[in-house]
Chains A and B, each alone.
Chain A
């Protein structure tokens, strides 16, 4: 299985600040069709995960442009600028290039 390693595990932030979350895969996520199937989710307390970014850098419908994704191959980053209270929770990366699909262990974004 593809191992997805997220860092850091916990990320203290001040409201209005900027943070980055890293996600590294144990093998390249470039599919034979040329696409890279790396996605980002936010799970707020007591809620289901919600899709933020799909295929590395595409914001899902309704996701503010404060969220941006980048990366290639095995190394990916989610950046959140001007952090707002509703951004707090656990962030997960997911790869759907290789079966079985695998998630990272999560990064908890919390207030300093």
Chain B
């Protein structure tokens, strides 16, 4: 059974760095073809794809945010991380991680609020 779960700080101040973790089970990110993506959704709005990392360690970023994003994975291939630098109120959203493309399995999401 595939499960994903996001975790994050809940709230942070503008200009800080947001660090998110996606912990998963039921698959191995070292398996050929596997990809984990990060997607976010401001309250009441649509979805925005942010970044992805694949089984080979290749990374993909949304150009609109690329300079601020870093996606990585742990050596045991059970967690994926996302860092967003210099956050501001526009980064307030629910952040999801999802498996494969199309995004067949999603985590429950973690709400991040950027506020002073």
Contacts and interface: CB of A to CB of B under 8 A. Distances in A.
A49 B106 contact: yes
Contacts of A101: 37, 49, 101
Query: Taking each of B49, B61, B63, B96, which has the highest tally of chain A beta carbons within 10 Å of its own beta carbon?
Result: B49
A70 interface: no
B108 interface: yes
B107 interface: yes
Contact of A39 (B37, B62, B102, B108): B102
A102 interface: yes
Contacts of A50: 106
Query: Taking each of A39, A55, A101, which has the highest tally of chain B beta carbons within 10 Å of its own beta carbon?
Result: A101
A27 B12 CA distance: 38
A60 to B, nearest CB: 7
Contacts of A96: 101-102
Given A39-B102, A48-B96, A51-B102, A92 B107 contact: no
Nearest to A90: B46
Interface residues of B, number: 19
Nearest to B108: A48
Interface of A is mostly: loop
Nearest to B103: A51
Interface string B77-116: 0000000000000000000100001111011110000000
A55 B61 CA distance: 22
A78 interface: no
A99 B108 contact: no
Interface string B27-52: 00000000001000000001111000
Contact of A99 (B48, B60, B96, B104): B60
Interface of A: 1, 37, 39, 41, 48-51, 54-55, 60, 92, 94, 96, 99-106
Interface of B: 37, 46-49, 60-64, 96, 101-104, 106-109
30 contacts: A1-B64, A37-B101, A37-B102, A39-B103, A41-B103, A48-B106, A48-B107, A48-B108, A48-B109, A49-B47, A50-B106, A51-B103, A55-B102, A92-B46, A94-B47, A94-B102, A94-B103, A96-B101, A96-B102, A99-B60, A100-B61, A100-B62, A100-B63, A100-B64, A101-B37, A102-B49, A103-B47, A103-B48, A103-B49, A104-B46
